[in-house]
Structure 1
Amino acid sequence: MSGFRKFLMQGNVIDLAVAVVIGAAFNSIVQSFVKDLLTPLISAFGGLPDFASLKITVGRSDFMYGNFINAVVSFLIVAGVVYFFVVKPYAHVKDRLTAKVEATTRDCPECLSEIPKAASRCAFCSAEVATV
């Protein structure tokens, strides 16, 4: 039982739980945006009031491809928001915080082996190399 408690107290589990809750709330916002704002805007130019009413009937079966179009639009909006407001800023901050590590080795000009930067002679081919 203590192992399970330790697992739950790890930061990753709590972060994941918060992300799932926020993601669910964000999904309802995006669904409302698509249904209440974007679809009427597109229908103003296309003349169709709602994509959900689009369907193909074959026999007695209705294929509601309009719902699929709404789902694709919702997905693209969520993907765009996540990319531009989470992934790109995170990558930018990560790049700024990552220290530029200076190389401690270099290649020997004679044998192309990796040698220490301060070396004056190659340990592999004994060639003299200029110090840096």
Structure 2
Amino acid sequence: MGGFKKFLIRGNLIELAVAFVVGAAFASLVKDFATAFIAPLIALFGGEPDYTRLAVTINGTKFPYGVFLTSAIAFLVTAVIVYFVVVLPTTKLIERMDRHKEVTERECPQCLSDIPVKARRCRYCTVEVVPATEAPAT
């Protein structure tokens, strides 16, 4: 029972639970945004945004393809909103934050392993390298 208790209290499980709850709340927010703003815009240009009543009947069997069509449109709208509201700004923010990071490693010209910038010899293949702070001799 102690192992199960450790498993439940571990940090990454709690982080996952928090991410799930925040994700569910965000999904609800995006769905409501799409319903309140995007669906009326679609209705302005393309008529009714709810196609759930569309169906075709073949040999007495009803195929409600409108349900899928409505879900597909909702998915595409949600994906576009998430991309432009979350992914794109987050990517730009991470790029801006990483711009000021100091470079501490570089590739060894011989074995392509990562070595410290000021290294004079590769720790993996032991080839001599010119430290990045010095200009190479010609």
Residues 98-127 of structure 1: CA distance to partner in whole angstroms, max 9, x if unpaired? 7232445653xxxxx3697647xxx769xx
Alignment match, 2:78: 78
Which deviates more from structure 2 when the two are superposed, residues 64-73 or residues 82-91? Answer: 82-91
Alignment match, 1:110: none
Counterparts of residues 108-123 of structure 1 (less than 5 Å): 113=110, 118=120
User: TM-score under structure 2 normalisation?
Assistant: 0.60
Structure 2 unaligned regions, length at least 5: 129-134
In the alignment, structure 1 residue 66 sits paired with structure 2 residue 63: no
Q: RMSD between aligned alpha carbons?
A: 3.5
Residues 56-104 of structure 1: CA distance to partner in whole angstroms, max 9, x if unpaired? 1112222222211221122223323333333334434444247232445
User: TM-score under structure 1 normalisation?
Assistant: 0.62
Tell me which stretches of 4 or more aligned residues in structure 1 moved more than 6 Å.
Answer: none
Q: Which of the pair has more CA radius of gyration?
A: 1
In the alignment, structure 1 residue 13 sits paired with structure 2 residue 21: no
- Percent identity reads 38
CA distance in 2, matches of 1:71, 1:79: 12
CA distance in 2, matches of 1:69, 1:55: 11
Asked if 1 retains the 8 angstrom alpha-carbon contact of 2:56 and 2:65, the reply is: yes
Aligned AA (2:25):
A
CA distance in 1, matches of 2:35, 2:106: 57
Alignment match, 2:55: 55
In the alignment, structure 1 residue 4 sits paired with structure 2 residue 21: no
**How many residue pairs end up in the alignment?**
120
Alignment match, 1:101: 103
